Amino acid sequence: MTQPVRESTRVVVVGAGPAGLTVATLLQGAGVPCTVLEQRSRARVLQRQRAGIVETRAVRMFQEYGLADRVLGGAPSNGVLEIRTEGERRFLRSDAGVDGPAPSLCPQQVLVGNLIQEFTDRGGDLRFEASEVSLAGLAGPRPTVGYRDPSGTAYEISCEFVAGCDGDHGVSRASVPEGELTAYPFDHGIAWLTVLADVPPPQHPLLAVNSRGYAAHFARGPRTSRFYLQCPPGTRTEDWPDDRVWEQVRARLGDKELVAGPITEKEVFSLRSVVHEPMSYGRLYLVGDAAHVVSPMGGKGMNLALYDAEVFARAVRDFTARGDMSGLDAYSPTCLHRTWNYQEFSRWMTEMLHDAGDDSRTGPFRRRLARARLDRLFSSPPAAAAFAELMAGFG
């Protein structure tokens, strides 16, 4: 059998999503050699449209590393969030009392594209279409990561650290021996139909509470919008022909005039969350969705991935400069602290905005509680400030 091509580097990053590319770009800036392995093609990676807002904390992070101008492609947000209850419009300043830059309306695929450009323009080693990625020796001092390139040639890269940035279904977490990690999964019991359409975005991010179910309308580009519609678990996309989508969007948003446009993507998914503890095993560090999934309510998944990435890259930089392991030892507890804080925020918002509308799941008492919670954001400046602090990624 042909021997694999053997190589060596300091860090192998598995996965080129927001987490992996941020790790790689920050390591590159610190002069730490790394290789990124991505199973998909460049074109596929650039197509993946998900998150739409980079929170204040992450904007500041990119500014501090001198990257903000190059990697954040979107316009700054004006901080206003619209919450429409049964058609009644109310506006919340999601930056009330926040001391920091405006969040950036930068779609995930734009951030990913810009990070790829930044990393590769500066000579970064990013290998697309890496198949059969496998991790070995994670508990020892020099793990190895194997893969095949598109021509079928096998490689084995020896390294000091592996950054597992390959999402919830990747190979990194699956390589940890059974019993070393504990999973804390949670099913919110809610599904969303998500629709991407060529429709002008709303003036402000729009969340709608409605007795027919929750709905939302967000910008995903100058002429593109993402809509979310709450639907019962088990619903299929076939149950939602385009006419039904637009009829429900208009009814739930309370906007009869909303102009429909071509739908380019339609998907139903269940709102679920999970945290895997600890976020490291030996010399493997799980970063982003590989370690935790946050339900999309509150827009925290990608932002949490960016946070983990910075904590990891900083720790590796300190180890490289001074042999200081303290940052790597603290990686998991540091990131888990923020993870649980964001999970709580996302769950709190999920309950409030769903229960306040359709009471068929939770009953009229919970509906009134949720409305009281929601109203407090508009009547109590400290409540609004606490909300804004979490939206910004502080606290």
Ligand X SMILES: Cc1cc2nc3c(=O)[nH]c(=O)nc-3n(C[C@H](O)[C@H](O)[C@H](O)COP(=O)(O)OP(=O)(O)OC[C@H]3O[C@@H](n4cnc5c(N)ncnc54)[C@H](O)[C@@H]3O)c2cc1C
393 binds ligand X, rule: CB under 6 A: no
Interaction pattern, residues 303-332, with ligand X; x per rule: CB under 6 A? x-x---------------------------
User: Least Å distance between CB 166 and ligand X?
Assistant: 4
Outline where DSSP puts E strands in 284-348.
284-286, 292-293
Give the C-alpha separation, 350 to 296, whole Å: 9
According to CB under 6 A, which one of 12, 18, 114, 370 is a site residue for ligand X?
18
Give the contact letters, 353-372, x = binds to ligand X (CB under 6 A), - = no: --------------------
**Using rule CB under 6 A, residue 191 touches ligand X:** no
The closest of 175, 168, 122, 124 to 147, measured between CA atoms, is: 175
Binding ligand X (rule: CB under 6 A), the pick from 84, 204, 300, 317 is 300
Nearer of residues 296 and 357 to ligand X, judged by Cβ? 296
Minimum CB separation of residue 129 from ligand X in Å reads 10
85 vs 303, which CB is nearer to ligand X? 303
Under rule CB under 6 A, residue 39 binds ligand X = yes
Segment holding 171, helix H or strand E: helix 171-174
CA nearest neighbour of 65 among 306, 393, 304: 306
Q: Kindly state whether residue 107 participates in binding ligand X, applying the rule CB under 6 A.
A: no
Question: Is residue 296 involved in binding ligand X (CB under 6 A)?
Answer: yes
Position 52 contacts ligand X (CB under 6 A)? yes
Handedness of CA 321, 324, 325, 331 (dihedral sign): negative
* Cα separation values, 279 from 157, 267, 370, Å: 22, 30, 34
| 302 binds ligand X per the rule CB under 6 A | yes
Rounded CA separation 144/12 (Å): 9
In the complex with ligand X, which residue's Cβ is closer, 68 or 115?
115
Nearer to ligand X, 114 or 367 (CB): 114
Q: What is the crossing angle of helices 381-392 and 56-64, to 10°? A: 40
Which residues, 6+ apart, have CB-to-CB distance to 53 below 8 Å? 77, 103, 104, 105, 106, 205, 299, 303
Asked if residues 104 and 53 have their Cβ atoms less than 8 Å apart, the reply is yes
Q: Is residue 390 a contact residue for ligand X (CB under 6 A)?
A: no
Q: Which residues bind ligand X (CB under 6 A)?
A: 14-20, 37-40, 45, 50-52, 108, 130, 133, 165-167, 170-171, 194, 288-289, 296, 299-303, 305
